[in-house]
Amino acid sequence: MMMIVAIVALGALAGASGLLLGFAAIRFKIEGDPVVERIDALLPQTQCGQCGYVGCRSYAEAIAAGEADINQCPPGGQGGVAALADLLGRDPKPLDPDLGPEKPKMVAVIDEQSCIGCTLCIQACPVDAILGAAKHMHTVIARECTGCELCLAPCPVDCIHMQPISPTITTWKWVYPAAEARAAA
Amino acid sequence: MNEYVLILISTILVNNYVLVKFLGLCPFMGVSRKLETAMGMGLATTFVLTLSSICAYLTDHYLLVPLGLEYLRTIAFILVIAVVVQFTEMVVHKSSPLLYQTLGIYLPLITTNCAVLAAALLNVQAQHGFIASALYGFGAAIGFSLVMVLFAAMRERIVVADVPTHFRGPAITLVTAGLMSLAFMGFAGLVRG
């Protein structure tokens, strides 16, 4: 008799717990992964693919899934690595040198004299920052250009070159002390 | 009222779970490397410990004792604790994904944190009432969190300190923990009984 009471009592307790957890699983269901959004927000959105993923979004998903490391984004630079490390609670590490050096922010410029209007660079641009039509001169919308350099390779006449953006009075940012940058590295 | 204040002081300082009773050492060593993780772990443990103390009291008082099943206490409490931890994990995952990622494996590991089971069992042993049980669990968790945060702060400093080679890593950590435990022994006798 005692044994049956014990079995029933524990069974009821376990059953009630199971129901509670089942309810909680439905009530607190996760749609999507909000961490991906926050990682994506930190990435520079150049969509350059230097990290080995098709774009910033898929790199963010790979970081969140633990497949990619946080030091694979040269456009984001050391500051970007530090920001990712801070967000994810990991230790910052130096940028992966195999993926290219950290460059200043640049914008693509088309030499309009030599452009033959082949539209190849338009197809390569991940952010639709190149305007033009077949057999017509193309141009880059500088405000939209992320400086990803993906349009350089397909150009048959090599009329696109990268120009560093010199800081203007509205875009200039305070330069961090060197000691702080070294500590982050 | 006085009794409740005594319970709190006793669990937080005098009978601190980590440093005096040596319970919950696994997360104490594992998650105390960074101040933020230590705080997160402290918060999660506080929540789980308080809630599981209450749930364990209710289970004991309304299910086990009336049916004369006191001998099933340990297994019933483990069940209750596992449910509370699972529930907390779902809530944390929903409400704070970053905390969830920071805590990582340690959140499910609260299930096997002996401090949680100890609080439930010691409550029964001390014949605490409902409020006393909740306060005991809460106090134990606050004590745990306090020590976690203090220890994490110390470890962050030790990382940059010039420690002799043979003491680096776990050795100096354990030495520090021992010294901290000694310091907490100083609270013994603060509260009588």
Question: Residue A150 belongs to a domain with what CATH number?
Answer: 3.30.70.20
In a domain, A114, yes or no: yes
Residue range B27-48, pLDDT digits in tens: 888 888 888 878 878 888 888 8
Is the pLDDT assigned to residue B121 strictly greater than 60? yes
The amino acid occupying position A58 is S
Residue range B152-171, pLDDT digits in tens: 999 988 888 888 888 888 89
Residue B80's contacts (CB-CB under 8 Å, 6 or more residues apart) are: A13, A17, B52, B55, B56, B59, B120
Whole-prediction pTM value? 0.61
Query: How far is A85 from chain B, CA to nearest CA, in Å?
Result: 12
In a domain, A7, yes or no: no
Would you call B80 an interface residue with chain A, using a CB distance cutoff of 8 Å?
yes
Question: Residue A45 belongs to a domain with what CATH number?
Answer: 1.10.15.40
Residue A171's contacts (CB-CB under 8 Å, 6 or more residues apart) are: A165
The pLDDT score that the predictor gives to residue A27 is 84
Tell me which residue range forms the domain holding A154. 104-167
Q: What's the whole-number average pLDDT of chain A?
A: 83
Q: Do residue A84 and residue A128 come from a single domain? A: no
The pLDDT score that the predictor gives to residue B135 is 92
Q: Which of A169-173, B63-67, B136-140, B156-160 has the highest mean pLDDT?
A: B136-140
Q: Do residue A136 and residue A92 come from a single domain? A: no
Angular region, A64: left φ>0, alpha ψ -120 to 50, beta rest: alpha
* Tally of domains within chain A: 2
The pLDDT score that the predictor gives to residue A177 is 64
Q: Do residue A118 and residue A68 come from a single domain? A: no
Q: How confident is the model at residue B175 (pLDDT cuts 50, 70, 90)?
A: very high
In a domain, A64, yes or no: yes
Dist. CA B132–CA B54, nearest whole Å = 9
Q: Do residue A61 and residue A111 come from a single domain? A: no
Q: How confident is the model at residue A184 (pLDDT cuts 50, 70, 90)?
A: low
Q: Is the ipTM of this complex over 0.85?
A: no
Q: Do residue A86 and residue A121 come from a single domain? A: no
A181 closest CA partner among A98, A75, A94: A94
Residue range A89-143, pLDDT digits in tens: 788 888 887 777 777 778 888 988 888 888 888 988 888 889 888 888 888 988 8
B87 closest CA partner among A13, A34, A12, A22: A22
Is the pLDDT assigned to residue A179 strictly greater than 70? no
Q: Do residue A151 and residue A110 come from a single domain? A: yes
The pLDDT score that the predictor gives to residue A45 is 85
Q: Do A87 and B80 touch (CB under 8 A)?
A: no
Task: Give just the sign of the alpha carbon dihedral B78, B80, B85, B87.
Answer: positive
Q: Do residue A94 and residue A116 come from a single domain? A: no
Would you call B9 an interface residue with chain A, using a CB distance cutoff of 8 Å?
no
Q: Do residue A121 and residue A144 come from a single domain? A: yes
Residue range B58-77, pLDDT digits in tens: 989 988 888 888 888 899 99
First-to-final CA distance of chain B: 16
Query: CA torsion, points B50, B51, B57, B59, in degrees to nearest 10?
Result: -160
A59-69: average pLDDT: 85
Q: Do residue A109 and residue A136 come from a single domain? A: yes
Dist. CA A184–CA A176, nearest whole Å = 11
Which of B36, B59, B97 lies nearest to residue A13, judging by beta carbons?
A: B59
Q: Do B97 and A34 touch (CB under 8 A)?
A: yes
Q: Do residue A93 and residue A121 come from a single domain? A: no
In a domain, A146, yes or no: yes
Is the pLDDT assigned to residue B142 strictly greater than 90? yes
- The structure tokens listed for A68 are 């990619």
Q: Do residue A83 and residue A116 come from a single domain? A: no
Q: Do A10 and B79 touch (CB under 8 A)?
A: yes
